[in-house]
Amino acid sequence: MGVLFPVLLPLVGVIVVVLFGRGDRSRSRLLASIFALATFIVTLYLAVALHDGGPDALRWGIEAAIPGTGFVMLAVDGLSLPLVILTGFLTCLAILSSWEVGESPTAHHALLLGLEAAVMAVFLADNLILFYVAWEAVLIPMFFLISVWGHENRRAAALKFFIYTFAGSALMLIGIIVLARSVQTLTIVGGVGTADPASQSLVFWLLAAGLLVKVPVVPLHTWLPDAHVEAPTAGSIMLAGVLLKMGGYGLLRVALPAAPEAFSAAAPVLAVLGGIGIVYGAVLALGQSDLKRLVAYSSVAHMGFMLLAISAGTSAGIGAAMLIMVSHGLVSGLSFFLVGAVYQRTHTREIARFGGLGSKIPVFGGVFVFAALASLGLPGLSGFPGELLSVLEGFSRFGWWIAPVGVGVVLAAAYNLYAVRAVAHGTLAPEWTDIADLSTRERIIAAAFIVPIVFLGLWPATVLSLTDPVSKVLALTMGGGQ
């Protein structure tokens, strides 16, 4: 039963915010944050329940007349829990960071809660149809968040975002149908059935079409910079922090167990796509003049590491992928929050116009340097263990073929340090002499991001111990090691 609440609470929140927050900004945001916080607390409760092994809290479903056809079937395990907690956490911070949103705050916060409910349903779905329904439902609030509250080119970006991801997921739907017909079952968490060998590669690539657009991998990534840049701050936090994780989660949860042989066969392709993402994303990030675009392209690079880790197909690789996803959720969330904060003060995102902000607004500068270090994978912060493991596992599987990834690692350091130098260091541009430092609310948000980033950097085993039981099973399905 407990597993129902991460989906139900935000939905109730949508109704409450719309009914009681109407046109009143402070009441809308208060109600929204109460519901988001309650949802986050419930996700923590799920962690306790998982630890204690209380099965009642971990599964929930309405039984239909014919077994297995009920659609609302939810379940949680070690693979979904980290992402569920991440979603609950980031939604709280997204609402907190859009505290001052000007236009229709009621609708904005209601859409954020609706988005949270849909994403939670993706991570908790124990039914392929519900999984797809939730997957598409995510698009609706995100489409409106971008197209109404976004920046200058928001409408084109929203349309592009929707059509790209819809194109992928429509093919994924065909994959799901072919799979469901092959295995005659719809359950997910208990183990997706394995498609018959003849149709495995069809199933895998159809599913991958939807999943890889979402990740995104390089030839399919072009919606990402536009959507990320045009989205409002809360939208960017959710998009980078949570939505991109749906791709990796889907690969592990559905595509891998459904078509293990096709997955093994495709692993080198996935590794190459991941490697291209790491290098190409970093090159593009380095070339940006727009700070938000730089952060957006860094997501492509980070997700490349994630894909490389998955393609290794080992238990450790899967654990690394999960670690990267959680870490990237936090780090990119913090980065987008900072870009939003500086944009709110300066109304520009042009890197060349900044400079020396660290001396004028030291708290912002300090947090910005921290975010850049976390992004480049400084040991001791959350990005390091996952990406290190990813490279190690990739090396043990593919050998020296993954050497080019090293270039990406160096480039990651380059673009992050370039951003630090251009924004925080140097001489202060005269136009920003009366700029204000982070407010108390913003400092709380920054601290809320920093604490888990440090914590996971020091104790990555927190995530790994959750995912381990599941990733071992997945690795066995593939016939991989350990």
Partner 1 sequence: MENVTPISLWIPAAIVVAGIVLGLLADALRRRAAGAGIIAASLMAAFAVCGWTGLTLTPAPLLDVTFVSGGVLSVAASVVYLIAALSVLSGWKQVASTHRGVTIAAITAFSALGIHVLISSLDLLTTILVLETIAIAGYALVSAAGGRRADEAALRYFVQGGVATGFTLLGLAVLYGVFGSTNYLDLYNALDGGSRVAALGMVLILSAFAFKLGAAPFHTWAPDVYEVTEPSTAAFLASAPKIGALMALLMVFPAGLFNAQRFPSGTTAIAVVAAASIVIGNLGGLRQSSLTRMLGYSGVAQVGYGLIGLVSGVIGYEETAIFAVTYALGVAAAFFAVAAIRERRPQWDGSISGLAGLAAEAPVLAASMVVAVLSLTGIPLFVGFWGKLLVFTSAISAGLTWLAVVGVLGSVVSFGYYGKVLIAMYAPGTTSPGEISEPSGSGVSSASVVAVIAALLVVVGGAGPLITGISEVLRLFTL
- Supply the minimum distance, in Å, between the C-beta of residue 156 and partner 1: 9
62 binds partner 1 (CB under 8 A): yes
132 binds partner 1 (CB under 8 A): yes
370 binds partner 1 (CB under 8 A): no
Of the listed pieces 36-44, 130-138, 448-456, 470-478, which binds partner 1 according to CB under 8 A?
Answer: 130-138
CB neighbourhood size of 20 (10 A): 13
- Supply the minimum distance, in Å, between the C-beta of residue 144 and partner 1: 7
Nearest to 391 by CA among 299, 281, 297, 317: 317
Tokens of 291: 């700070």
Q: What share of the chain is helix, strand, coil (3-state, %, to 5)?
A: 80, 0, 20
Of the listed pieces 50-58, 136-144, 308-316, 382-390, which binds partner 1 according to CB under 8 A?
Answer: 136-144
The single-letter DSSP state of residue 54 is -
Cα–Cα distance between 67 and 403 in angstroms, integer?
A: 50
- The neighbouring-strand residues paired with 73 are 61
Closer by beta carbon to partner 1, 155 or else 441: 155
Closer by beta carbon to partner 1, 171 or else 429: 171
Closer by beta carbon to partner 1, 71 or else 459: 71
- Supply the minimum distance, in Å, between the C-beta of residue 247 and partner 1: 18
139 binds partner 1 (CB under 8 A): yes
- Supply the minimum distance, in Å, between the C-beta of residue 236 and partner 1: 19
Closer by beta carbon to partner 1, 141 or else 247: 141
125-159 burial, b at 16+ Cβ within 10 Å, e below that, comes to: bbbbbbbbbbbbbbbebbbbbbbbbbeeebeebbe
Closer by beta carbon to partner 1, 202 or else 414: 202
Count of residues of this chain found to bind partner 1 when the rule CB under 8 A is applied: 35
- The neighbouring-strand residues paired with 187 are 127
Nearest to 453 by CA among 385, 360, 395: 385
Nearest to 228 by CA among 307, 126, 303: 303
List, in order, residues 6 or more apart from 125 with CB less than 8 Å away: 73, 74, 131, 134, 188
- Supply the minimum distance, in Å, between the C-beta of residue 123 and partner 1: 16
Tokens 């799979």, residue located: 179
Question: Mask of contacts with partner 1, 149-188, x by CB under 8 A?
Answer: ------x--xx--xx--xx--xx-xx--xx--x-------
- Supply the minimum distance, in Å, between the C-beta of residue 330 and partner 1: 30
Q: Residue type for 465, please?
A: S
Contact residues toward partner 1 (CB under 8 A) are: 62, 64-66, 69-72, 129-130, 132-134, 136-137, 139-140, 143-144, 147-148, 155, 158-159, 162-163, 166-167, 170-171, 173-174, 177-178, 181
